[in-house]
Structure 1
């Protein structure tokens, strides 16, 4: 067994291949992380987009932990559905927490896990885009963690919230999981390139792409303040 290092906690491949007592539990860990990242404000540091993309690459192995299905498409579709449902439940919990906590988070002091600036940034993002923020937020790290909480705090109409919640979750899950799976299939069959050999580069690329909008926004705000 490889020696554990704390840096593995931000490596999505670590969660996908995790096993306990000889039993692979990757699928359960993936679903919990999706729930935590979208429903628990402490989950913003967990890998999200890269985890889903890699889950698509490892979809066959992940689904075998539950049951074996011959159809490759059905395997990927079921995985995307399970992930989408976990995202829906996560957002629903976040909405409930926001509705119940009210202004508690705004009065909460910063600590290692919680940073109030993330809450304010998500609130501005939510107010600017309205219900569509729930959809946009799915593809933005940190923001997707706080968007449902903000929706609850401002008492967004529940039916409206659930509509955007369901649409965004399925869009997020299917886009990334199907992209990861079928890009792997295409490159492997056409060029003999196995994406599993380039996981580190894929993670770095996805992190750069998903964080770029936030970085640009912060730079623009700083320029305006100056």
Structure 2
């Protein structure tokens, strides 16, 4: 139950979680941030972890506090950590998919890996090729499934890796620096939880829209088939 409560608290309040880590020191905090981002990206069983909001919150702590004149986290140490975590995670997940992917899907143990999400991820790969690896980085759930499905699909690692590295660098830099530059804004500080929810909604919107379109598309297709059979 301890690990479950840890993840629930992290989802509910990433800023509070990081504040608690900082009390233990900079090194443990950077270690926790690396671990969470790595797990979200590199372990297909944890697609629900809040990578976007965690990076934003970490960036806020890297900004200089106006009252103390100091930053709780040094940006020059934070950035290499958030760069490395998604890149290493992607490579691990790719090879998990390559060697164990079929058995994991057939086991049905990854409940979040629904047929709709698998189909959406595979459709992105079919349409965009390795560029889908870069684009998928910006969508929750899909960024966890993309390297996994890429490994299953037989994509060559030398095609996967450059787009994986680029996506990891751009994604982690974007959300960390957004927190760094805007975390000190008074509105953001006073309504931090709302800002985090807004980030989550923006991140999830394309995935939700895609799933809704796919669902209604199937219904329309089934209806058209039924009409054709009746005719």
TM-score interval, normalised by the smaller of the two chains: 0.7 to 0.9
Structure 1 residues 121 and 105: alpha-carbon distance in aligned structure 2, compared to 1, 3 A threshold: farther
Moved more, 126-135 or 22-31: 22-31
Q: Deviations over 1:68-97 (max 9, x none)?
A: xx9x8x943542222111111000100110
CA contact (8 A) 1:59 1:181 kept: yes
TM-score by length of 2: 0.79
Gaps of 5+ in 1: 62-69, 188-192
Measure the CA separation in 2 of the matches of 1:197 and 1:87: 30
Superposed CA RMSD: 2.5
The residue correspondences of 1:130-209 to structure 2 (distance < 5 A) are: 130-185=129-184, 187=185, 193=186, 195-209=188-202
Aligned to 1:43: 46
CA contact (8 A) 1:106 1:116 kept: no
Measure the CA separation in 2 of the matches of 1:168 and 1:7: 27
1:119 aligns with 2:118: yes
The secondary structure found in structure 2 opposite 1:44 is: coil
Measure the CA separation in 2 of the matches of 1:224 and 1:196: 42
Aligned to 2:56: 53
Measure the CA separation in 1 of the matches of 2:108 and 2:149: 17
Measure the CA separation in 1 of the matches of 2:92 and 2:47: 15
1:19 deviates by: 3.6
Larger Rg: 2
TM-score by length of 1: 0.81
1:132 deviates by: 1.4
Measure the CA separation in 2 of the matches of 1:6 and 1:175: 23
Aligned to 2:11: 10
Measure the CA separation in 1 of the matches of 2:9 and 2:75: 25
Measure the CA separation in 2 of the matches of 1:100 and 1:18: 38
